[in-house]
């Protein structure tokens, strides 16, 4: 579609055409909602220290004039403003598909995936009036193709399994609880059962955590589907590692709009106020638009200013991230510089469940048997961040060898063959994947926050600044994830290593407040 001279193309919104079955033009009368994100306000200095959620809108939010301009544009195209949030820098507009297509200069078509999932799709960039070119930074919800996948793997019948409490003990998680903390968990499907949680935690002799379901863009706690294992794993790992913490689960549709809206709602939630956000969903960088990656990293940057730690699973498909183009890929949003990217290991323990010892820990790699491996590598989207300047991040293994943000930052047990004993939909089972490592680290951070009496927030610069003598990490030096090998120090398989929780807490006490 040609962009008229009076309109400005938003190049970062470019979408590749879907490869699924094309069913023809989308229903022009269908009502739908679109999330429009705008720039940070320009009449304030960018915040340099911590800001409270209550003060954020006036300091780091949107300029009301910008939101008014977007609202006026929407009304001109027959659309209704159904949401407006200064802190999230967000305007939500609702209307007919035909009017939305005209407003953003795109053609919307209907598609169906091989498994029967129907969605709307588009190709090329969106456009806005020239006067909004510097105001609008992201438009989400026109294209509703499935965006992310869980990073979860089922175990074989021969698998070794550990309750999350045993894994936490092996990693010397600090004594104490997560009381007073809220851990947010992002989910793009599935649900949890209160009776399953009660049975699971009482069986471990633990208090059942208070869990709150938060609806985003119509997403709900809806147990009974394939994503239930992800939801239950996340809750049960957090609840074991940081028993006593309140858990808020943000349910959203599996689209780029749902993903981003859930992240921004959690970060700016003045009711539940999570101090940590755990994300076990993602996809190869190549499957995201530039606008989605930019806005997600902006949201994580906001989280850092608000003192929220964001832990993200690094993926379960080795150094290719499951892409079959012969190239190496990293998973997003783990590759965002303001995410704490969590890779995976194979963990073997001895001793008892309450006093275990690590006998072996290597890079998780079951690719030879088709059972996955930890993600990791070098970002094609984000440059090398300053906190990794001295980490020895290699250039990408792809032709041309470009430098970029190294993934992951940290690691933990992820191999389903040394997996986690969990309860899902009334049955006990064993699962693994880096999906388990993000909530493991989220729970660990919550316990550290409770012990310190402050929220550690954005941890990456602090973690990379710790001396090896701190003992905060078990350095994983054996194994590979495909294109990358483990080595002493940081590597693109397990990052800095798996945690020694007590040593990490001691280091954080010495480091003082992070930024």
3-7 long-range contacts, CB within 8 A, separation 24+:
3/105, 3/127, 4/105, 6/129, 6/130, 7/105, 7/127, 7/128, 7/129, 7/130
Whether 385 contacts 337, CB under 8 Å = yes
Place of tokens 């996340």: 234
For domain 149-388+396-511, the CATH superfamily is Peptidase S8/S53 domain (3.40.50.200)
Whether 345 contacts 410, CB under 8 Å = no
Mean of per-residue pLDDT scores for the chain: 96
Residue 427 designated active-site: no
482: which residues sit within 8 A by CB, 6+ positions away? 318, 319, 320, 328, 365, 367, 373
> Helix, strand or coil for residue 324?
coil
The pLDDT value recorded for residue 370 is: 87
186's tokens: 């992002």
Place of tokens 């949890």: 192
Whether 148 contacts 283, CB under 8 Å = yes
Whether 237 contacts 313, CB under 8 Å = no
The pLDDT value recorded for residue 47 is: 82
The pLDDT value recorded for residue 49 is: 86
- Does the pLDDT value for residue 352 go beyond 70? yes
Phi, psi of 301 (to 5 degrees): -65, -40
379's tokens: 């970002």
Q: Per-residue pLDDT tens for 69-126?
A: 999 999 999 999 999 999 999 999 999 999 999 999 999 999 999 999 999 999 999 9
65's tokens: 């004039």
Give, in order, the Cα–Cα distances in Å from 311 to each of 134, 202, 403, 436, 495.
31, 27, 23, 11, 14
- Does the pLDDT value for residue 3 go beyond 70? no
Whether 159 contacts 419, CB under 8 Å = yes
The active-site residue, picked from 166, 196, 228, 230, is 230
pLDDT average, residue stretch 139-159? 96
For residues 49 and 514, give the distance between their C-alpha atoms in angstroms, rounded to a whole number: 10
Question: Which residue stretches of 194-350 are H helix?
Answer: 194-203, 228-241, 256-267, 290-306
The pLDDT value recorded for residue 514 is: 43
447's tokens: 């316990």
pLDDT average, residue stretch 288-315? 98
Give, in order, the Cα–Cα distances in Å from 496 to each of 63, 477, 500.
40, 10, 12
Q: Per-residue pLDDT tens for 430-453?
A: 999 999 999 999 999 999 999 999
The pLDDT value recorded for residue 511 is: 86
> Helix, strand or coil for residue 239?
helix
Whether 127 contacts 9, CB under 8 Å = yes
Domains of the chain by residue range: 7-140, 149-388+396-511
For residues 128 and 102, give the distance between their C-alpha atoms in angstroms, rounded to a whole number: 10
For residues 162 and 498, give the distance between their C-alpha atoms in angstroms, rounded to a whole number: 16
For residues 500 and 381, give the distance between their C-alpha atoms in angstroms, rounded to a whole number: 31
The pLDDT value recorded for residue 90 is: 98
pLDDT average, residue stretch 25-30? 98
Place of tokens 């919800």: 141
Question: Which residue stretches of 61-219 are H helix?
Answer: 64-76, 97-104, 164-170, 194-203
Give, in order, the Cα–Cα distances in Å from 85 to each of 64, 81, 88, 235.
9, 11, 5, 29
For residues 179 and 456, give the distance between their C-alpha atoms in angstroms, rounded to a whole number: 16
For residues 73 and 128, give the distance between their C-alpha atoms in angstroms, rounded to a whole number: 9
> Helix, strand or coil for residue 36?
strand
For residues 253 and 121, give the distance between their C-alpha atoms in angstroms, rounded to a whole number: 15
- Banded model confidence at residue 5, pLDDT cuts 50, 70, 90: low
Whether 156 contacts 432, CB under 8 Å = no
The active-site residue, picked from 35, 278, 435, 480, is 435
The active-site residue, picked from 20, 234, 297, 491, is 234
Cis peptide preceding 204, ω within 30 of 0: no
Residue 470 designated active-site: no
- Does the pLDDT value for residue 515 go beyond 50? no
Q: What is the pTM of this model?
A: 0.97
- Banded model confidence at residue 2, pLDDT cuts 50, 70, 90: low
Residue 29 designated active-site: no
């Amino acid at each position: 579609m040609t962009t008229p001279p009076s309109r400005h193309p938003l190049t970062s919104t470019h979408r590749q055409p879907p490869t699924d079955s094309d069913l023809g033009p989308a229903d022009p009368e269908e009502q739908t909602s679109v999330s429009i994100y705008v720039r940070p306000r320009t009449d304030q200095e960018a915040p340099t220290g911590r800001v409270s959620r209550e003060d954020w809108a006036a300091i780091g939010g949107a300029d009301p004039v910008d939101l008014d301009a977007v609202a006026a544009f929407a009304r001109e195209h027959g659309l209704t403003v159904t949401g407006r949030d200064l802190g999230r820098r967000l305007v939500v507009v609702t209307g007919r598909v035909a009017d939305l297509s005209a407003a953003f200069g795109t053609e919307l078509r209907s598609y169906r995936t091989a498994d029967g999932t129907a969605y709307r799709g588009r190709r090329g960039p969106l456009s806005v009036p020239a006067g909004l070119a510097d105001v609008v930074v992201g438009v989400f919800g026109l294209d509703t193709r499935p965006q992310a996948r869980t990073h979860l793997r089922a175990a074989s019948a021969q698998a070794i399994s550990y309750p999350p409490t045993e894994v936490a003990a092996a990693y010397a998680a600090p004594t104490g609880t997560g009381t007073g903390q809220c851990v947010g968990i992002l989910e793009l499907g599935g649900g949890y059962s209160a009776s399953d949680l009660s049975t699971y935690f009482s069986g471990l002799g633990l208090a059942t955590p208070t869990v709150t379901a938060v609806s985003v863009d119509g997403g709900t706690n809806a147990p009974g589907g394939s994503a239930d294992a992800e939801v239950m794993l996340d809750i049960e790992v957090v609840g074991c590692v940081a028993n006593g913490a309140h858990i808020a689960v943000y349910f959203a549709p599996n689209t780029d709009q749902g993903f981003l809206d859930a992240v921004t709602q959690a970060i700016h939630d003045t009711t539940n106020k999570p101090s940590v956000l755990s994300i076990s969903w993602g996809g190869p960088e190549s499957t995201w638009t530039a606008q989605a990656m930019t806005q997600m990293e902006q949201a994580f940057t906001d989280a850092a200013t608000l003192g929220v730690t964001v832990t993200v699973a690094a993926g379960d498909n080795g150094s290719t991230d499951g892409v079959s183009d012969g190239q190496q890929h990293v998973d997003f949003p783990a590759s965002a510089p303001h995410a704490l990217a969590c890779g995976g290991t194979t963990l073997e323990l001895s001793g008892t469940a309450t006093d275990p010892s690590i006998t072996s820990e290597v890079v998780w790699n079951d690719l030879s048997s088709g059972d996955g491996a930890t993600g990791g590598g070098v970002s094609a989207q984000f440059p090398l961040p300053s906190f990794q300047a001295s980490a020895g991040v290699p250039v990408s293994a792809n032709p041309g060898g470009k430098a970029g943000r190294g993934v992951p930052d940290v690691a933990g047990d992820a191999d389903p063959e040394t997996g986690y004993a969990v309860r899902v939909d009334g049955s006990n089972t064993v699962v693994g994947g880096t999906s388990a490592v993000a909530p493991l680290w989220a729970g660990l951070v919550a316990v550290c926050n409770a012990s310190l009496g402050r929220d550690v927030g954005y941890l990456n610069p602090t973690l990379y600044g710790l001396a090896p003598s701190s003992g905060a990490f078990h350095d994983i030096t054996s194994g590979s994830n495909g294109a990358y090998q483990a080595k002493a120090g940081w590597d693109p398989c397990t990052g800095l290593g798996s945690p020694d929780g007590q040593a990490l807490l001691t280091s954080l006490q010495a480091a003082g407040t992070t930024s």
